[in-house]
Structure formats: structure tokens, C-alpha cells
Amino acid sequence: MELNKICQDFNLKGELLDYELITSGNINLTYKVFMQDNGEISQYLLQKINRNVFNNPEKIMENIKNVNDYIDSRHKCEDLFVLHFLHSVKGEPFVIDEDNGFWRACKFFNCACYDSPSDLGVIEEAGRAFGQFQYLLNGFDAGKLFVTIPDFHNTEKRIADLENALLFAPSDKVAVAKSEIEYILSNKDLGLTLSKLFSDGKLPLRVTHNDTKCNNVIFDKETLKALAVIDLDTIMPGLCAYDFGDGARSICSTTDEDEQNLSLVSFDLDRFDRFSKGYLKYLKSTLTDLEKQILPLSVFVMTYELASRFLEDYLKGNVYFKVNNDDHNLHRARCQIALCKDIIGKLNQMENILKKYL
Ligand code: GN1
Ligand code: MG
């Protein structure tokens, strides 16, 4: 079978005993494989990159290597280590299969990973990990990074993409999503705040992770300390607000991203307090006044942007995000819009919380 050949090409010792599909992650395909060698079992992760989303995966691997090397040279793995990928028999950090599938591999760590944690210690650690990661990359030459997805967090472009999708969308879908479409289009003023500040050159460009979902941090199962930030596929020049806003969006929400019972969806301020505390621990001293000022609003903007991306994908027939059913992206968009509405009402309280840590 295909996975067997990939394991051989990565020179994994032994025989492929078993494998599991890892279902978290909306883009790439990830397997955990169990290799048996002389009675001993070792575990690895194999990941097939979605070429529809990332059209130059070799460059992603180059970005990751450059960033990892930089972090390793600054910081000797005391409280945040970097995840290195294995090399193939050809000496490359990837394998290309016979169908041009692009694979990478790493050792599997027996660690914890959370989609929506409620433990406040875990939440503070997730914040600490993302903030420290960005802090460690201060000084890394952003010009060395290949832009894996241009305009990734350009909200203005994202809304233009939605408007474009509307021109071609089937009328029944447009009718079903009428109120969600209206919400996005009527909240552009607030939603495009970061885009405007960015195009006016008012915010510094930093090296950012750009996908600061809670499940992109791994934790020690016993101490619950964050060990590493993973999924560096979208590491690119960006705004601090992208990582803070998206992290808070994901980590402080009381539900999963596709919750259909919208009365359960809310933005939890105790979680926000601890996330902010962790996030700002290292970064606080490096932020400009305007960067600090826009942190609460950035949470709204990143939630609004993701709602729009889910909605666009629903209208286009689910061509980007992995889905479990035809309406999955619509449910995700509804959930993110419910979160947006809750966040708007809490911006003042968020600002007060942040004062403690800035
Ligand atoms: C995708 O692959 P994953 O699940 O880490 C997406 C993010 C979204 C996220 C929403 C490359 O991340 O931008 O915020 O889904 N990644 C890409 O769950 O589009
Ligand atoms: Mg991910």
C-alpha cells in the first residue's frame, strides 16, 4: 500500500504494523503510523500536504528549516523546542509519491493537543507558546521567507473573494446563507480595520505564524506545559494582531468551530485573561502603542475574516476546507458569526483585561 512505500522512502526502521488517520486539521492529511522493528514499536506522523492550498510545498519546508535553525541558534530548547522533519533516503525533508503527492514525516511525541481547552493553565501556556514563538523570531529577516499563501490575512481581499463567489454561487445557497452574507457585508467597517491600518503603513510587519489555533501547540501530558508550536506552513511576514487575534478567537471560544447550537457559542473572558497573560509575557516590551491598542479588535477581525472564508467556501461548493457534509462550512460560518457578535459586546472588558498585562 501507498503508506508502506512512503515509510520506506523515509527510511523508517521496521515494518508498517498499523496506522490511524488523525482527523484534526482542515487542510492537510495526517496519519500516525506504527513501525515494528525487532519487537519494538515506534510511532511517526506522516503528512500529505494539500497541493490545492499550498502550491509550492518545497518552499514551505525551506521556510520551516530557516525558522527552526534561527530559533535553535537563539534559544537552547529550554521551554519551547522546534519540531524537525525527517529526511528521506534522497536526503530531502520530503518524499514525492508516484501521483506527485508531497509527504513529510516526523517522530510522534506522546504529547497532548487540544481543540478547545477549558483548563486555564493550558490556555495561558498556549498563549505563552505563541507569544514566545513570535518573540524568538524578532530579528529574523522576514525577507528570507517565501510567502506560502499571498494575502493570507488580507481581510479586504478575503471579502472581495466572498463578493466574487456571490456572483457565481447557486441561488439556493445564497438564499440559505442570506443573513450570514448580510452580516459580513454590513460589518466591513469594523472588519477591515487591520487591512486599513496595514495599508496605511501604521503597523510593523513581523514574522508571524498565522494559524494560531490551539491545536497548533503541543503540551507535555503530565506537566501541561506547552512544548512546541507546530504547523509552520503559513509562517510569513504578518501583523502581531493576526496571531493574537486568531489565537484568542480559537482558544477563548466556548465551543468547537462548527458548533450548531449557537446558544452555546461565546467568548470566555476568563480564558481571554489567561491567554493574554501568557501571550504578552515575552512580547509586551516589543509592541508599539498602536499594536497594543488594536489587540481587542484584532480578535473580532480574525473571527470575522474566518467566518467570511468559511462562507465563501460554502458558496463555492467546499473546494478549500475539508468537510464532513455539504453544509459543514455554513455551520462553521454561523458559529464564527455568533462568536463575532459576542466579541463585539465584550471589547471594553477585553481592553480592561489587557491593561493588566501591557
Ligand atoms: C486551517 O489546517 P488547519 O486546520 O491548521 C486554515 C486556517 C484556519 C483554520 C480554521 C492554510 O488551519 O487558516 O484558521 O483551518 N489553514 C489554512 O480551523 O488555510
Ligand atoms: Mg494546523
pLDDT for the residue 77: 60
Q: How far is CA 331 from the centre of its chain?
A: 19
Ligand 1 interacting residues, C-beta cut-off 6 A: 25-27, 53, 211, 213, 216, 231, 234, 257, 306
Q: Considering the chain, what is the average pLDDT of its residues?
A: 96
Distances (CA, A) of 99 to 48, 197, 287: 12, 43, 46
Residue nearest atom 5 of ligand 1, based on CA coordinates:
25
Confidence of residue 116 (pLDDT cuts 50, 70, 90): confident
Q: Which residue CA neighbors atom 1 of ligand 1 most closely?
A: 26
Ligand 1 atom at minimum distance from 306 CA: 14
Task: Give Cα separations from 292 to 22, 188, 211, 219, 286 (angstroms).
Answer: 37, 22, 20, 28, 10
Spacing, Cα 67 to ligand 1 middle (Å): 20
Q: Report, as an integer, the average pLDDT of 247-264.
A: 97
Mutational pocket test of ligand 1: of 22, 211, 251, 258, the residue with most ligand atoms within 8 Å of the beta carbon: 211
Q: Which atom of ligand 1 lies at the shortest distance from residue 149's CA?
A: 11
pLDDT score recorded for residue 70:
93
Mutate to test the pocket of ligand 1, among 22, 23, 27 (most ligand atoms within 8 A of CB): 27
Least distant ligand from the CA of 322: 1
Q: What is the Å distance from ligand 1's center to 28 Cα?
A: 9
Where helices occur in the chain by DSSP H, the ranges are 2-9, 57-74, 120-136, 155-168, 171-176, 178-186, 188-191, 193-199, 240-251, 269-283, 289-293, 295-316, 328-344, 347-355
Q: For the segment 148-202, what is each residue's pLDDT rounded down to a tens digit?
A: 999 999 999 999 999 999 999 999 999 999 999 999 999 999 999 999 999 999 9
CA of 248 to the centre of ligand 2 (A): 15
Do the beta carbons of residue 46 and residue 105 sit within 8 Å?
yes
Atom 8 of ligand 1, residue of closest alpha carbon: 211
SS3 content of the chain, % helix, strand, coil (to 5): 50, 15, 35
**Which residue's alpha carbon is nearest to atom 17 within ligand 1?**
27
Q: Does domain 2-57+85-107 have CATH number 3.40.50?
A: no
Closest atom, ligand 1, to C-alpha of 215? 5
**What is the predicted pLDDT for the residue at 223?**
96
Phi, psi angle pair for 33, to nearest 5°? -115, 145
With 80 as the cut, is the pLDDT of residue 115 above it? yes
Q: What is the rounded CA–CA span in Å between residue 21 and residue 201?
A: 44
Counting atoms of ligand 1 from 1, which one is nearest the CA of 25? 4
How far is 63 from 56, CA to CA, in rounded Å?
Answer: 11
Instruction: For residue 15, report the phi and psi dihedrals to the nearest 5 degrees.
Output: -105, 145
CA distance 351 to 346: 9
- The pLDDT tens digits of the residues spanning 275-287 come to 999 999 999 999 9
How much of the chain, in percent, has pLDDT values that exceed 70?
A: 99
Q: By alpha-carbon position, which residue is closest to atom 14 of ligand 1?
A: 211
288-323: pLDDT as tens digits: 999 999 999 999 999 999 999 999 999 999 999 999
Lowest-confidence segment of 28-32, 73-77, 183-187 by average pLDDT: 73-77
**Which ligand minimizes its atom distance to the CA of 49?**
1
| pLDDT beyond 60 at 227 | yes
When the candidates are 3.30.1300.10, 3.40.50.2300, 3.90.1200.10, 3.30.499.10, the CATH number that belongs to 120-357 is 3.90.1200.10
Please tell me the distance between residue 217's alpha carbon and the centre of ligand 2 in angstroms: 9
The three-class DSSP label of residue 70 is helix
Give start-end residues of each CATH 3.30.200 domain in the chain: 2-57+85-107
Task: Give the number of whichever ligand sits closest to the CA of residue 249.
Answer: 1
User: 1 falls in which pLDDT band (50, 70, 90)?
Assistant: low
On the question of pLDDT at 78 being above 90, the answer is no
CA distance 315 to 205: 32
75 vs 60, higher pLDDT:
60
* CA 257 to ligand 1 center in whole angstroms: 11
CB 292 within 8 A of CB 279: no
Location of each CATH 3.90.1200.10 domain in the chain? 120-357
Q: What is the CA radius of gyration of the chain?
A: 20
